[in-house]
């Protein structure tokens, strides 16, 4: 396993739309393993392949504090949403920035796991937010897109200043 470099906003590659995975081969499972290692080391609770410059529909999530619920989402689809909840979000591609975003409160999603088995799961709270945030990444969307243009400009400036 290896840790991968995470793209930092406003890198254009974060705007690419990821392709569905059509074959869960050794390359894909190695990517999943590397993504978990990268996410846990960061540390973070979710990581989309887009953020490590691999444009395939692969997400890893673990919202627990003791690494007890690692979730692999390959080709994830949000099947239904319910309610609305406002909460602070951060992103490993926008380090140090936390802003309030409105998301669906509850969702049902479907995905393939690391072995290619389809599963469906209901989620609320932090997990629901995290799945919506990561699926957005696969479509080239980031949480700052939900903020005002003024806030987004300020964040962009801050990120560019920290660039080497
Ligand atoms: Ni993110």
pLDDT in tens, 42-62: 999 999 999 999 999 999 999
Distance CA(73)–CA(65), nearest Å, equals 19
How many angstroms is it from 38 CA to the middle of ligand 1? Answer: 13
Distance CA(78)–CA(90), nearest Å, equals 21
Asked if residue 164 has pLDDT above 70, the reply is no
Catalytic choice (84, 89, 134, 163): 134
Active site residue 134: yes
How many angstroms is it from 136 CA to the middle of ligand 1? Answer: 8
Whole-model pTM: value is 0.96
> What is the pLDDT, as a whole number, of residue 162?
76
Burial class of residue 70 (count of CB atoms within 10 Å of its CB; 0-12, 13-18, 19+): middle
How many angstroms is it from 82 CA to the middle of ligand 1? Answer: 22
How many angstroms is it from 148 CA to the middle of ligand 1? Answer: 18
CB contact at 8 A, 29 and 114: yes
């Amino acid at each position: 396993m290896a840790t991968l470099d995470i793209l930092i906003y406003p890198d254009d590659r974060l705007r690419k739309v990821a392709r569905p995975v059509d074959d869960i081969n050794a390359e894909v499972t190695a990517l999943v393993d590397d993504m978990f290692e990268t996410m846990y080391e960061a540390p973070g609770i979710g990581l989309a392949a887009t953020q490590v410059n691999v444009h395939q529909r692969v997400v890893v999530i673990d919202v627990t504090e003791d690494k007890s619920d690692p979730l692999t989402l390959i080709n994830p689809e949000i099947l239904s949403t319910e309610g609305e909840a406002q909460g602070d979000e951060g992103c490993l591609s926008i380090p140090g920035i936390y802003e309030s975003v409105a998301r669906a409160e509850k969702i049902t999603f479907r995905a393939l796991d690391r072995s290619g088995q389809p599963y469906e799961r209901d989620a609320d709270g932090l997990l629901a937010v995290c799945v919506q945030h990561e699926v957005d990444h696969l479509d080239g969307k980031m949480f700052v897109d939900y903020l005002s243009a003024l806030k987004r400009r300020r964040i962009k400036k801050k990120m560019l200043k920290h660039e080497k």
